[in-house]
Structure 1
Amino acid sequence: MDYKFPKDFFFGVSNAAAQVEDGLSDPWLKLAEQDKVSCFKDVAHAKDRLRFWTNPNIEIELAQELGVDVFRMSFEWSRLVPEKNTWDQESALRYRDILLSLKSKGIKVMATLFHHSVPTWFQDAGGWSKRESVDDFSFYSKKALDAFSDLVDWWITLNEPVPWSYLTYKEGIFPPGIKGSIRSHNQSLKNMAKAHNSFYAFAHQSHPSIKIGLAHHMGWHRGRGIFNKLLAIVTDYLTHWSFIKLIGKNMDFFGINYYGAEWMTLKGPAQYPDLEYSDAGRAVSPLGLEVQLKRIHKRYPDTPIIISENGVGDDEDWVRPTYIHEHLAAIYKCINQGIQVIGYIHWTLSDNFEWSDGYGPKFGLVKVEREKNLKRTPRESFEIYKEICKQKGFTFEARNQAWEKYKSKKGLKRNYWRSDDNRSGLNSPKKRIMGINDWRHK
């Protein structure tokens, strides 16, 4: 085995409540019904998402078949606290059933408290931009800790707080869909940091051995030309490190969500014809993951790192097999250089609702045919990742085979779900030609 990971290294998959649960009446559904979500209104069973609430066992059994060590999921805040300071015990018991089902199959749980979705009452009161948000999250998080601490192995307080806040309070792309200000964005980040730090202190008092961290989005910001390179440096600090400074060392692990490189211009992320992209518009770059892992380690040398999300939008499954191998090769290199990376969570198990992009980009190891009552079909990448999980690694031959198969697609057209300016999703895909530039990890 050429790439054999340490014995205690874990492999996993992930989802999020607002992306997979049915029966929700949340701000995302309201935004979609206002026609502010791409690829939604004409999609079959759109409101059902993946029916993970009424029938979670389909996904859980797929995770078991995949052979993962860890299943990352989230609790839907609006279910558990449907009104201010009101805990819904029935929903809590349902979540316990889901957690117990995972545990019964030998799968550990990584649970996220806030994953891009808030209760309507919370949003209507100003959300994270208001001081009261810290107390509201405190009520919710403490109740969740009491309800689920015996079944959760890792806790994530916040998923990608910086891009979520910017797209919500500045750009108005996320619910409630109203453009705001940098001031509101900055205030929300301060409140989220306070909420995290408060929960971290409280939880460690009552549960000293608890493991708490963040899932922090860290794309690799790059630029072509002097101005764009300077822009990338500034954006890198504002989006990656300024928020982390508010957290300090209040994390037992550093979760990094990494999808690819983001080539910066004044008009927004660029699309270059000589680069490979996911069908969601991110440039594929395993090297960027190595760069970010080394930067995290330099700042937090004693903090374990978990890849809390890594994946690629790829309906055809032409890119994903080699994408997985190359990003794991980057992680393997970092581990051998003394960086404490302890786990890898792939995003995602099955195609799901991708926020403002709706059901366009396909990130799943499992294909979901919505017009066929959400029929699941494992892709080739499912079998590849399954073998990696089983062997806790892969061979150089398997890595090369994946790359050669990817190269064989040169010149073919694949679905691409981003607008020409790369700032929004589409209701139907355009086609992008597979160029096959050499993005392999060296």
Structure 2
Amino acid sequence: MAITLKKVCTTWAILVISYIALCIVLVPFLRFQAVPGQWKLTGARDDVLADFYSASPSSSSSQSCHPTSASGLCLVTDKKFFFGLATAPAHVEDELNDTWLEFARGHDGKFPVRAWQNVPIPEERLRFWTQPEVELDLVKEAGVSVFRLGIDWGRIVTEEPINGIDQVVDMKAVERYKEILQAVRSRGMRVLLTLFHHSIPKWAMAYGGWTQNKTIGYFTEFARFAQLHFGEYVDYWVTFNEPHIFVILTHCTETWPPGGQPSLKDSLVCFTPFGGYGQAMAAISEAHNAVYNVLHEGDSKAVVGVAHHVGVMKPYGLLDVPIVMFSRWLTEFQWIDAIQDNLDFCGINYYGQEIMSAAGLMLVPDEEYSEAGRGVYPDGLYEVLVAFHNRYKKRRPNLRYIVTENGFADARDIIRRPYLVEHLLALNAAIREGVPVDGYIHWTVTDNWEWADGYCPKFGLVYADRGNNLSRHARPSYYLYQEVVKSGLVLAGQRDDAWNTLQADVRQGGIRPFCRLSDSHDRMWAEGLDVPTTRKIVSKDWRFGVYKDQGLITLISRSFQVIGILAQDLVGWILGSGSQKFSLPPEVRIGEL
């Protein structure tokens, strides 16, 4: 017995030591690529830190003309690089009885969308369907040359098209979308149109959505219809927006419509080829490839891509390194590898970093976060762009990139301004490194409905007063972006002003809203808040080229903390039936919400 026990202990010791050694070996592979040099922090206020219009290596055409368009508009510009603004139907369209509205209305007294019941006229979103000119005028005034928007599949195709799409199309909706697209172009902007943006028709959800292969044919037919009716107005097509985020939160954690609680079996197999994630991502990849060909059949000059969410995932402790490596493998290149032969551009949606542990997604006290729980890390945008270019430049030498989303939830508009400046500096550094980036699109114009977080996070450059007929009020960041867009420059003075304003607030003990549920161990969960808590603005210098990661000693010490948290979780679970009721936390949030 003693010999057997000794063997067991020896085996476990070897396994533990081997795991720790593996973690140490993997640490150097966590980074994409070091940021080049140290950025100048002081100097003359008119020193140019970034010049997008003269320094861009973009070889895209300087003229975009659709001679067959109803408006007859031909856009001509000498600015090769473009700036834009973005939105999506489920975020902003009123009179849209979609899966998200049904989800938000709740059932059995439960309301899975936060900051919904306590907000005036939530179902009207931003009235982009009935009053699109309000938003479009703000977009035009910002000076951008590209507007990203979408068409809602379920609004156009109202029932399952068993006998063909023509039998179930709402032509009034088609005509209204034409009017909106014409309104965009009449304001001198190009159109980047998204076909699928986190919203699946009710009829498709009823049979399992993207886990069923028949959805591939339905979506391909929808894309063909869209090209026929909207193609003359579209300059760039995005087939899918962040599908792996949609699939994880819909089919694995079930924190998005239709909601529910996944079974243990479904959770265990979700990321295998036989699980919801594996099946849905395979179908989406096949659908993109088919739609790419369809759009090019209708227009040989069509520019077709995707919008892919990439966050920089980091370990909280040393023992969390394998978890981070697996998460990166799952979400970074896997999907783009599957569709790389059918891309004219790769859109990158980047918001920041996520610090992961075996105990959950961590809310680190000395790191800065948006109201939605996204960690601030400007260097990451540079790292991601360089990593993607290095991976695909030989496989697809002509592949271009567009930053299709980047933004920050900040009702006070105190952090958003330096966030914007620092990410533009990171983007400019990637361009100078040789990454062929054609444009930058900021998310978003006006505070909107943010999926399961409802109206709590404020991502807008513009504030919408929901209690006062949705009256709009531009924030200082709107005017900062306007300055950059019109000049194509980021100046030292703009950087200093944005950062110094933030630091003055820090010295005064500045606080701001925070919309993410967390616990006593500083873990963040998928659940948002109806009423935000407050969080102190951190003093850490997170600017581009200045940000410093935690050292190895900190990673080691945090591992003991994680072990302690997991031990408490286990004890609580074992004693759950005792006098002190213990309930397992909601699903861990992975990726963008």
Pairwise same-fold verdict (TM > 0.5): yes
Q: 2:322 aligns with which of 226, 230, 236?
A: 230
In the alignment, structure 1 residue 293 sits paired with structure 2 residue 385: yes
CA separation in 2, counterparts of 1:290 and 1:372?
40
Shift of the alpha carbon at 1:69?
0.8
Report if the CA contact (8 A) 1:170-1:179 is conserved.
Answer: no
Relative to structure 1, the CA distance from residue 157 to residue 179 in structure 2 (aligned partners, 3 Å threshold; closer, same or farther) is: farther
Measured against aligned partners, the alpha-carbon deviations of 1:296-316 in whole angstroms (never above 9, x if no partner) come to: 101122311100000000000
Q: Is the 8 A contact 1:169 1:178 kept in 2?
A: no
Cα separation, 2, equivalents of 1:409 and 1:392? 28
> Over residues 166-205 of structure 1, what are the superposed CA-to-partner deviations in whole Å (9 max), with x where a residue is unaligned?
0000111110003443101210111111100001112222
The partner residue of 1:416 within 503, 510, 514 is: 514
Equivalent residue for 2:308? 216
Other structure's SS at 1:150 match:
helix
Amino acid at match of 1:72: R
Partner residue of 1:160? 242
- 2:346 corresponds in structure 1 to 254
1:435 Cα deviation after fit: 1.3
Partner of 2:125: 49
In the TM superposition, what is the alpha-carbon distance from 1:392 to its structure 2 partner? Answer: 1.0
Task: Tell me how far apart the structure 2 counterparts of residues 70 and 157 of structure 1 sit (CA, whole Å).
Answer: 17
User: Pairwise mapping of residues 3-14 of structure 1 onto structure 2 (< 5 A)?
Assistant: 3-6=50-53, 7-14=79-86
Aligned to 2:208: 126
CA distance in 2 between partners of 1:82 and 1:266 (Å): 43
Distance 2:223 2:88 in 1: 17
Alignment of 1:299-310 (within 5 A): 299-301=391-393, 302=397, 303-310=399-406
Structure 2 residue 123 is the aligned partner of structure 1 residue 25: no
Shift, 1:222, TM fit: 0.7
Amino acid at match of 2:229: A
Which residues of 2 match residues 136-285 of structure 1 at below 5 A? 136-180=218-262, 181=266, 182=270, 183-285=275-377
Shift of 1:267: 3.1
Letter in 1 for 2:490: F
Residue 148 of structure 2 is matched in structure 1 by 72
Equivalent residue letter for 1:221: M
The C-alpha deviation readout for 1:350-386, integer Å capped at 9, x for no partner, is 0000000000000000011111111110000000000
Runs (4+) off by over 4 Å: none
Corresponding residue for residue 114 of structure 2: 38
C-alpha offsets along residues 400-433 of structure 1, whole Å, 9 cap, x if unaligned? Answer: 2111111111121100000013222101000000
Task: Give yes or no for contact 2:227–2:298 (8 Å, CA) kept in 1.
Answer: no
CA distance in 1, matches of 2:332, 2:434: 23
Most deviating of 349-358 and 218-227? 218-227
Q: 2:433 is matched with which residue?
A: 337
**1:76-101 deviation digits (Å, cap 9, x = unpaired):** 11111011222221111101100101
Equivalent in 467, 471, 481 of residue 371 of structure 1? 467
Separation in structure 1 between the aligned mates of residue 488 and residue 234 of structure 2, nearest angstrom: 23
Aligned pair count reads 442
Partner of 1:348: 444
Amino acid at match of 2:91: Q
Aligned-partner Cα distance in 2 for 1:61–1:384: 17
Q: Considering only CA atoms, is the larger Rg found in Structure 1 or Structure 2?
A: 2
Which amino acid is 1:324 matched to? L
TM norm structure 1: 0.98
8 Å Cα contact 2:238/2:304 also seen in 1: yes
Is the counterpart of residue 84 in structure 1 residue 157 in structure 2?
Answer: no
**For 1:248 and 1:310, how far apart are their aligned partners in 2?**
23
User: Gapped runs of 5+ residues in structure 1?
Assistant: none
Give the partner amino acid of 2:80.
D
CA distance in 1, matches of 2:260, 2:160: 23
- AA at the equivalent of 1:419: L
2:437 partner letter: V
Using the TM superposition, name which of 252-261 and 394-403 deviates more.
394-403
What's the TM-score once normalised by structure 2's chain length? 0.74
Q: Secondary structure at the match of 1:281?
A: coil
